[in-house]
Amino acid sequence: MNTRHAVVVTVLGEVTVVASGDAITGLYFPHHWYMPSEASLGTRVAVADDALLDRARAQLGEYLDGGRTVFDLPTATDGDPLQERVWAVLNEIPFGETTTYGAIAERLGNKALAQSVGRAVGHNPISVIVPCHRVVGSDGRLTGYAGGLKRKQTLLELEETDEEESARLF
């Protein structure tokens, strides 16, 4: 598989975007909690020289500028069965809404899975595109984010349209 990556400068700082074949497989911030090894990122390429990575860069920029609410990119993840189920639920959380780890666990059929859901959310390899930033604590407070809580807060603020709507839970 042709794995490669590019570093993209955004308002959130540098972001490493990884692609394998025809799918985006990673989006990581500097000091990301679960950054994969440098070798697993593949060859570093200029973003403009790779159509898929350039499309991801453009869509990420549109999102961060407030002009995009949904990403239209092919993605691929390689998690265990629970992680894949959690990441699928993350993809269903609408722009501007949040949910909790417990609510995701309930959707998966077992509220006792909340801590496991938290671990899966934290290991999401495609931050922002798979919107793990939309998951908050049971009391509505911001909790861990592999890219840093300040970035999580910025992403949630970007998605706020008004107080009433931003308070809705998915």
Q: Give tens-digit pLDDT for 44-97.
A: 999 999 999 999 999 999 999 999 999 999 999 999 999 999 999 999 999 999
Dump pLDDT digits (tens) for 4-39: 999 999 999 999 999 999 999 999 998 888 889 989
What are the tens digits of pLDDT across the range 122-170?
Answer: 999 999 999 999 999 888 888 888 888 999 999 999 999 755 444 555 5
CA separation for the pair 96, 160 (Å, rounded): 6
- Rounded to two decimals, what is the model's pTM? 0.90
Q: Letter for the amino acid at 122?
A: G
* The predicted structure's pLDDT at residue 18: 97
Report which DSSP code applies to 138.
T
Question: Angle, nearest 10°, between helix axes 114-122 and 81-92?
Answer: 80
Nearest to 87 by CA among 58, 59, 127: 127
Active site residue 132: yes
Active-site position among 132, 136, 146, 156:
132
pLDDT at position 166, please?
Answer: 44
